[in-house]
Amino acid sequence: MNFITNLIGGLSLGGIYAMIALGYTMVYGIAKMLNFAHGDIIMVGGYTILVFTARSVHPIIAIILSVIFCVALGISVEKVAYKPLRGSSPLAVLITAIGVSYLLQSLAQMIFGSGTKMVQGLDLGSFSIGSLKIGVSTVVTLIACFMVMIALNLFVKYTRIGRAMVAVSEDKGAAQLMGINVNFIIMITFAIGSALAALAGTFYLMRSPSMYSTFGSLPGIKAFAAAVIGGIGSIPGAMLGGILLGVVEVFAGASVLGPYTDAIEFAILIVILLVKPTGFLGKKRREKV
Amino acid sequence: MAKLFEKLKGKSLVRQNIESDYVLETKDLGISFGGLKAAQNVNLKIKKNEIYGLIGPNGAGKTTIFNLLTGVYQPTFGTFYLNGEELRGYAQDKINHKGIARTFQNIRLFNNMTVVRNVMVGLQHQPEYKCTLVESLLRLPRHFKVEKAMRERAKELLDIFGLKDERNNLACNLPYGKQRKLEIARALATNPKLLLLDEPAAGMNPHETEDLMNTIKLIRDKFDMTVLLIEHDLKFVSGLCDRVTVLNFGTVLTEGTAQEALNHPDVIKAYIGN
């Protein structure tokens, strides 16, 4: 019984990680940069929900507003901070991303203070099947995550923009010369990543409704590990890595190894990088001379 | 800051169209990288339905000219016109929409996409193959109609190059000669008025080269195309090109029919020395 509860909990946490990891992996695949400010988009999404639910806006509307706000933020960050650096060294972009991350965290501290705030109205209660007690939010998360992943797969496979995205990730220069507006595709990528981050933040708040300025850091860094485990740049890889980490986290947390959960997760990352440096589904890139 | 200024200058650029009998006309086109003038005073006049060669020793600036014409580089001097419309300063994708498509010296296909999808990427910007996001995501009938039309068109194009049977293979699994052909097919799919081929016969055996010559002629006739190509194989050039321009150290040595140009004393000097 415990096993099933843990499995469902793990899959739903994994779904959250997968959604965040998708943001990392899509941006990496298409813009060839690591967006370390991605975790803080989650935090901004969380605070947006906090602000609106505190003014007794209906939670669903608060969630939608948070998604819209995060998309706008993601696009503006890309336009202001990353776009002028396109074509410069990857290190410059990486440092900029870390800078944006601290900027967002500090802004949140200035506006909301450094204390922890509780978010109301996201508790959906629980139900029980026999002796099994499952939180409604867990099931909602699970279903929503899988729906999002299916939609994303359809989007990439069957739409013009999706096809253009794959082409850009293969060869940006050639894609542009074949008439694809690369700046637009990168903007769309950031928009999708930020929308997923906002949703992931919502579901994370359903698990633990406390908000603070570094709220996005730990899930962000774990999702990044998940993206690397699955093979960064690969969409199914991010899903796989995210779900794996989520399940491991819940099962490890429930066992005697409880206090070492985070250590175990990052140890998995190290082991996988040693055995298969490109991650599970990452493609090996051979440099052709 | 300097970069930003350049950019602003690019945005406020005023383009002037001219009356022109030529598909491509360049006026004193040139670019300098720092002090190095990689190309200067290049004047090309290419008529409709011509196959035009751009030749010259290594480092003569041939690919630089291609990069200028496709917007990869912005010209430092001069400008160029496609059917009289000035295209200087446009981004690469915009220039492609205006009607210049190219292939690359070292093949740049979308390797992990299938052959047919490579061509579809080229096709998808044409208005008849556009459908909205909602139509695609909800998979409405129009999505399937458009997708099918696109696939059919891609198959037609691939058939010309004898690639139809390989359409579901990954591009990276094609043999070299066929990858070169696929690149041409992908460029053609963007429906250009002018096709730029960067060393299309590089690395091909005599039989494949012969075959490619016929294909390029076929493209010209079938699509009413104008072709500008860079090539080192002089037999290929003299057998295919109506006219050629010879470049050396970024400047034009001579121009004329292939025979005239190749027998020009300066050209012989540039290729084999004194």
CA B50 remoteness from chain centre: 14
Q: How confident is the model at residue A289 (pLDDT cuts 50, 70, 90)?
A: very low
Tell me, what's the pLDDT at A288? 44
The whole-angstrom separation of Cα A101 and Cα B154 is 45
B148: part of which helix (H) or strand (E)?
helix B141-160
Sign (positive or negative) of CA dihedral A183, B34, B38, B59: negative
Q: Is the pLDDT of residue B38 over 90?
A: no
**Domains in chain B, number:** 2
Mean pLDDT check: name the lowest of A270-284, B50-64, B223-237: A270-284
Sign (positive or negative) of CA dihedral A233, A234, A240, A242: positive
Q: Is the pLDDT of residue B137 over 80?
A: no
The Cα angle at residue B131 between residues B130 and B136, in degrees rounded to 5: 135
| Inside any domain, residue B274 | yes
State which of B154, B188, B222 marks the end of a domain: B188
- B120/A163 touch (CB, cutoff 8 Å), yes or no: yes
A169 to each of A20, A203, B175, how far by Cα in Å? Answer: 19, 29, 23
A interface test, pick of B74, B95, B136, B140 with most A CB neighbours within 10 Å: B136
Q: What is the CATH number of the domain that holds B240?
A: 3.40.50.300
Contact present, A41 and A194 (Cβ < 8 Å): yes
B122 and B255 fall within a common domain: no
In this complex, which of B93, B136, B143 lies closest to A176 when CB atoms are compared? Answer: B93
**pTM score of the predicted model:** 0.86
B148 and B207 fall within a common domain: no
In this complex, which of A158, A170, A178 lies closest to B111 when CB atoms are compared? Answer: A170
Contacting residues of A for B113, CB less than 8 Å apart: 166-167, 170
- A163/B121 touch (CB, cutoff 8 Å), yes or no: yes
Q: What percent of chain A has pLDDT over 70?
A: 98
Tell me, what's the pLDDT at A48? 94
Q: How far off is chain A from B211, nearest CA to CA, in Å?
A: 25
Tell me, what's the pLDDT at A70? 96
Question: Facing residues of B24 across strands?
Answer: B46, B82
Q: How confident is the model at residue B1 (pLDDT cuts 50, 70, 90)?
A: low
Tell me, what's the pLDDT at B112? 87
The whole-angstrom separation of Cα A272 and Cα A237 is 13
Q: Between A241 and B263, whose confidence is greater? A: A241
B60 and B128 fall within a common domain: no
Where do the domains of chain A lie, and which CATH numbers do they carry? 2-275 (1.10.3470)
| Inside any domain, residue B50 | yes
Interface pTM (ipTM) of the complex?
0.81
Give the structural domain span for B245.
Answer: 20-99+192-274
pLDDT (mean) for B246-268:
85
pLDDT (mean) for A125-145:
84
The whole-angstrom separation of Cα A21 and Cα A221 is 9
Q: How confident is the model at residue A244 (pLDDT cuts 50, 70, 90)?
A: very high
B3 → chain A, closest CA residue? A84
A159 → chain B, closest CA residue? B136
Q: How confident is the model at residue B144 (pLDDT cuts 50, 70, 90)?
A: confident
| Inside any domain, residue B3 | no
Q: How confident is the model at residue B274 (pLDDT cuts 50, 70, 90)?
A: low
Beta B85-86 vs B77-82: how paired, if at all? Answer: antiparallel
Contacting residues of A for B147, CB less than 8 Å apart: 158
- B122/A180 touch (CB, cutoff 8 Å), yes or no: no
B115 and B38 fall within a common domain: no
B90 and B199 fall within a common domain: yes
Q: How confident is the model at residue B98 (pLDDT cuts 50, 70, 90)?
A: very high
Q: How far off is chain A from B125, nearest CA to CA, in Å?
A: 7
Contacting residues of A for B122, CB less than 8 Å apart: 178-179
Q: Is the pLDDT of residue A90 over 90?
A: no
